[in-house]
Structure 1
Amino acid sequence: MARQGLADAWLEARPALVRFLTARTGSSATAEDLAQDVWLRLQSMTDDAAAEVRHPQAFLYRMAANLALDASKAQRRAGARDLEWRRAAVVDDAGDAEDAPSAEDAVWARLKLEKVVAAIDRMPPKAAEAFRLHKMAGLSQAEVAERMGVSRSAVEKYISASLKDLLLRVGWP
């Protein structure tokens, strides 16, 4: 029956407890949640433990204050954890994020690259060679022409045809 006495005290004190918790937490929603947590804790008490409570009102407020403190600590820990995560994902003080792509972007890029490689493999050999030397190896068109033993105009045509073919086969990035 001692639990019933605590339950009655909670019902009577609930509006004041919510105001008390709102002042402590700054949030009426959090205060409502914490007041409900007080109720749940009361319901989980044994009759023997409830019988030891001499001042139910003080006991309820102490329990509410402890729950508010625990919630505040948990919120600070979560904030610190989020801040640490954001710091780990930042490269410099300007707040520029790392260049590392998300897992989805990495998979998408890999699939796109496979399509590009397959499209290059289907190009005429001279066009594919000119494209690889210029776009992948970074050689100028004049250097590609010299290496392939063709005119610069021919290299321009090979690269132009290669880009058109890639656009048709793979699409725009």
Structure 2
Amino acid sequence: MPYLAATVALVGLIAVVNLLLTIGVVRRLREQTTELADLRSRPPMGDAATTLPAGANVAPFEASAVDGRTVTLASLGERPLIGFLSPSCKPCAERLPGFVRHAAERPGGRDSVLAVIAGTPEASADYIEQLSAVATVVVEPDLGPVQQAFGVTGYPSFLLIRDGEVDATDYDLGPIVERDTEVETATVG
């Protein structure tokens, strides 16, 4: 009989511990559901601004290109294409071939395309090699003067500038290429 009472007490104790653990799990699931609902109500990462918005004026800047030239916004012409990339950024590596391809096909040549690489020259060597033939390349640390002039907060970031003002900006190259082609077609036509 004492064994039976001890067994019932043990089973009861296990049931109470199980009930407390279940209450804790349910409470945590409710917290996570609230957090998930909050995350879903925010705009997607891609929609968050990573540069100055369209219509904003670009602040003056001066930087040295890897080939030794001094770069300013005025030195890039009236309608430059600008890309901000980082060697440590996986989406940058994915978009780099498209940026190189579009820059190579773009009227105005490398003097109307600026590629700003956030990092050290050593870490950026592969990017410099790929971009030098099609763009003016500037390597600077995070939050360097060119990045500050364009309000860059994330990578990759692509912009089209028209007369010192942001015409289009996006983290994805596709909309920028479309806008660039559209403006070029309107200018030629």
TM-score normalised per structure 2: 0.33
TM-score normalised per structure 1: 0.35
The structure with more helix, counted as a fraction of residues: 1
The structure with more strand, counted as a fraction of residues: 2
Answer with 1 or 2: which has the greater Rg: 1
